[in-house]
Amino acid sequence: MKKFLLISFLFVFAACSTVKVGYDYDKQADFTKYKTYTISEETMKMGVNQLTRDRLIAAVEAEMAAKGFTKSDNPEVILDARIKGEEVQTATATTSGGPYGYGYGRWGYGGGFSTTTVNYDTYMEGTLFVTLIDRATEKIVWQGTGTKTIEENASAQKREENINYAVKQIFTNYPPKVK
């Protein structure tokens, strides 16, 4: 099941819906000192297919460059990316009929009947976690997340566009607005 969830990330950012993003950060961190990064070994071995991993890493590196970072062998932060897939089920109930039915009495009123139909919708949702870890302290200083519904039939071009869009949305919250 775990392998299925990770492989299914191939389709995560291919749906037409928007990406739900969030972030958290260490309020004590000095984000002005972070200018160089490297990608963690775990990210390079992520449990998704090579095409998806390459697209994801390219998107993350483009956003890091846009934020003023350069890749380094001696970085201030380590970038770690993780993927989580989850099957989601929703239920929608609809009622038909009403209180007036085949009744009795002078006006045909009675107990009546109605029917309720429940429709279940099952789909996969994928979440991408992008974490920046201070190399010196080995503590997380910032983490952004993006969640989106999986669409299995997206083209390769659409997958790449949507991965780029999702990563860009995640990085809109970096650096955080420290108060």
Nearest to 7 by CA among 121, 88, 126, 122: 126
Q: Which domains does the chain have, with CATH numbers?
A: 2-88+122-171 (3.30.160.670)
DSSP 174: -
DSSP 27: T
pLDDT classification of 119: cutoffs 50, 70, 90: confident
Q: Which residues contact 131 (CB under 8 A, 6 or more apart)?
A: 79, 80, 81, 82, 140, 142, 143
Output the six-digit token pair for 21: 């993003």
Q: Is the pTM of this model over 0.85?
A: no
**Mean pLDDT of all residues in 153-157:** 87
- What pLDDT sits at residue 95? 79
Q: Does pLDDT of 31 surpass 60?
A: yes
Assign residue 108 a region: left if phi > 0, alpha if psi is -120 to 50, beta otherwise?
left
Q: Does pLDDT of 101 surpass 70?
A: no
**Mean pLDDT of all residues in 127-132:** 95
Instruction: Specify the range with the lowest mean pLDDT, choosing from 41-50, 55-64, 114-123.
Output: 114-123
Output the six-digit token pair for 39: 């990608």
Q: Which has more pLDDT, 9 or 59? A: 59
- SS3 (DSSP) at 143: strand
**Mean pLDDT of all residues in 28-32:** 95
CA dist 38 and 31 (Å) reads 16
- What pLDDT sits at residue 3? 44
- What pLDDT sits at residue 87? 73
- What pLDDT sits at residue 126? 84
Helix segments in the chain, DSSP class H: 2-7, 41-44, 50-66, 156-171
